[in-house]
A = this chain, B = another copy of it.
Amino acid sequence: MNFTASEENYIKAIYHLQQSAALVTTNELAAQLKTKPASVTDMLKKLKLKDLLLYEKYQGFQLSNKGKKVALGIIRKHRLWEYFLVNKLQFGWDEVHEIAEDLEHINSKLLIERLDAFLNFPRFDPHGDPIPDVNGRMEVSKQINLIDLAPHQPAEVSAVGSQSSELLDLLSHKNIGIGTRLEVVKKFIFDHSIEIKIEDTAPFSISQQLAQSLFVKPL
């Protein structure tokens, strides 16, 4: 079974959306893919026909087991290419998402196997997201949102909540990346901002919005 780039984009988007809620809605998916609800309905019918989707009209939908497997395959390709771009071609972590969006649709099992081996079977992509293995299995790290980290608990940044260049730009400016060690000094009720301290540098404040986009592993 091979799928078009468009089908793969739908499958991947549904997979990501159903991480936060079991059932996905037509409008949600249309917003995510920047397309119209009518176009989504068309594709839902097609995916159901191919047994990738559990879908009853008006009732929301979710990927079938087969659909989930396909999704993990696409995510695997995306993240392996991102790792390649950053660690072999010297791209910045904020430059790779768009290119990986195209590369992920190249269909060659052998290519991905060889790429994986060439990269030494990496387990996380440059944004800290786990890379599924050939069987779709990936590490489930017990990372928590920075907003939930207890004050004075040392932790390490393990992932970012989005790949927007705006977020990644802000993070580079503040010298925060995957692996950065930090602790929360104080949380402010007034604006929900958080004061953090990176290793031996002076503490500084970050907004609630930014804290919510950072995931950390307590050390």
Residue of B nearest to A98 (CB): B108
Chain A 100-147 residues near chain B, CB threshold 8 A: 102-103, 106-108, 110-111, 114-115, 118
Q: Kindly specify which of A24-32, A66-74, A88-96, A196-204 makes contact with the partner chain.
A: A88-96
Q: Is A170 at the interface (CB under 8 A from chain B)? A: no
In the complex with contacts A95-B110, A110-B95, A118-B89 CB distance below 8 A: yes
**B114:A91 contact, CB within 8 angstroms:** yes
**B118:A108 contact, CB within 8 angstroms:** no
Per DSSP, are chain A's interface residues mostly helix, strand or loop, or mixed?
A: helix
**A111:B99 contact, CB within 8 angstroms:** yes
Give the oligomeric copy count: 2
Question: How many chain-A residues does the 8 Å CB contact rule pick out?
Answer: 18
Chain A 68-85 residues near chain B, CB threshold 8 A: 85
Task: Return chain B residues, CB-CB under 8 Å to A89.
Answer: 111, 114-115, 118
Taking the closest CB of chain B, its distance from the CB of A101, in whole angstroms, is 10
**B103:A99 contact, CB within 8 angstroms:** no
Task: Return chain B residues, CB-CB under 8 Å to A111.
Answer: 85, 89, 99
| In the complex, the 5 A-B pairs of residues with the closest C-beta atoms, listed nearest first | A89-B114, A102-B106, A99-B108, A89-B118, A99-B111
Distance in angstroms between the alpha carbons of A173 and B91 in the assembled complex: 40
Task: Return chain B residues, CB-CB under 8 Å to A103.
Answer: 106
Task: Return chain B residues, CB-CB under 8 Å to A98.
Answer: 108
Distance in angstroms between the alpha carbons of A115 and B85 in the assembled complex: 9
Residue of B nearest to A115 (CB): B89
**A102:B110 contact, CB within 8 angstroms:** no
Task: Return chain B residues, CB-CB under 8 Å to A118.
Answer: 88-90
Distance in angstroms between the alpha carbons of A102 and B104 in the assembled complex: 11
Distance in angstroms between the alpha carbons of A91 and B103 in the assembled complex: 18
**A106:B99 contact, CB within 8 angstroms:** yes
Taking the closest CB of chain B, its distance from the CB of A78, in whole angstroms, is 13
Task: Return chain B residues, CB-CB under 8 Å to A107.
Answer: 102
| 10 residue pairs bridging A and B, Cβ less than 8 Å apart | A85-B111, A85-B114, A89-B111, A89-B118, A90-B118, A95-B110, A99-B108, A99-B111, A102-B106, A102-B108
